Amino acid sequence: MNDVRMGVLGCAGRMGRALLHEISGTEGATIAGGIERSGHETIGQDLGAQAGLGGLDIAVGDDLRALMAASDVVLDFTAPMVTVAAAALAAETGTALIAGTTGIEAEDEARITAAGEKTVIVRAANFCVGVNLLQQLTRQVAAVLDPDFDIEVVEIHHRHKVDAPSGTALALGIAAAEGRGVVHDEVTERGRDGITGARARGAIGYASLRGGNVAGEHSVIFAADNERIELTHKAGDRSIFARGGVRAALWARGRAPGRYSMLDVLGFGDT
């Protein structure tokens, strides 16, 4: 079987370069190309050289349709508006899309889901295997513990992150709500400040911290009187997200059209 041809959106960014490195070192995968926004300084440069991989004889481009045509799977960890456009075009071309962008609004998530009717979309807030295991554990623990256990989701990221809570934190909160059998948006508490009153029983709270170059740390705290359970994942480098993204790209080959998650990739899709 031929290698899976993988294209990278935002190929000159930190995550884009990490993806190129991961594809380069993964058996069964090959780099098909990479694009950046029009006018970016790397346009026309050798894709491998700008990522520190050595020459690949592939130029950095800015044509999304051409990248789709050259690729079996495209990986996108860029920005919401880019991801929505990529999903629509992937539906036209039949190219699989691995979408790890966070901060996407509900109406745009619906557009991505619609694209999954015509092609394979693997959509996750976080492609790290460890984080997805944390999500599954959160769902299971929440199902066992009653609402006397307060749930708090705490996350810290680098100073440049623009959305809060992180997409991963929200995914963890949603997993906790699913485990409890409640509607997430009806029990969530965010951004406490000033005289807020006592914490509501059964609420799922969030705290977001920003600073330094932290790749990402997430904790789900279940706190009751006299005992506390904490589930934590700490990311040391973006390579772990790239590793999961490429794993998902390999998994996507030959799948029927649909919107999938990283839990599907890991075999938890039916739990």
- Token representation of residue 138: 């959160």
Among 151, 7, 158, residue whose Cα is nearest residue 73: 7
Burial class from Cβ neighbours inside 10 Å (0-12, 13-18, 19+) for residue 87 reads buried
H-helix segments, 181-257? 184-187, 239-252
> What is the number of other CB atoms lying within 10 angstroms of the CB of residue 53?
17
- Contact call for residues 223 and 199 (beta carbons, < 8 A): no
Strand partners, 224: 227
Whether 157 is catalytic is yes
Residues in the chain: 271
Burial class from Cβ neighbours inside 10 Å (0-12, 13-18, 19+) for residue 11 reads buried
- Token representation of residue 146: 């009653």
The catalytic position among 21, 157, 218, 233 is 157
The catalytic position among 40, 118, 161, 184 is 161
Whether 234 is catalytic is no
What's the rounded Cα separation, in Å, for the pair 123 and 262?
7
Residues designated as active site: 157, 161
